Amino acid sequence: MAGHEKIKTLFRVKKLRTVFIIYWILLAYIIVALVWWFIALYQQNEVIAKFKLAQISAAPDGAWQSSVAKVADERARDIRMYVLEGITFLLFIIGGAVFVVLLKACVFEWFQD
């Protein structure tokens, strides 16, 4: 009977290992998606800034310097916003990952007993 229980426990541990391998793959995918999100937003921000600057340079009025400064400030503010959002999401992701790893250690310890 003891051998049968040992096999059951071994199966549970192997299933958990498979689940955690899938977990790490998904976690890596989420982090890559977060980086891709930042790159896409940064590129979009650059396109919008260039478009606004092109509109300003085509305008006939002479107050273009303040408009250029305004576009530069908006561009910098948006980049800062994207970075801070990305850091916030990354901290939540890392916090969740640490929680799951600690939970995994507790579960493996529980199965060993």
Q: List pLDDT tens digits, range 18-72.
A: 888 898 999 999 999 999 999 999 999 999 999 998 888 776 666 777 888 899 9
Range of the domain at 23: 2-112
Q: How far apart, in whole angstroms, are the C-alpha atoms of residue 90 and residue 92?
A: 5
- Give the residue, 13 or 106, on which the prediction is more confident: 106
Provide the whole-model pTM: 0.72
**Average per-residue pLDDT for the chain:** 85
| Core vs surface per residue 66-83: b (16+ CB within 10 A) or e | ebeeebeeebeebbeebe
Q: In the chain, how many domains are there? A: 1
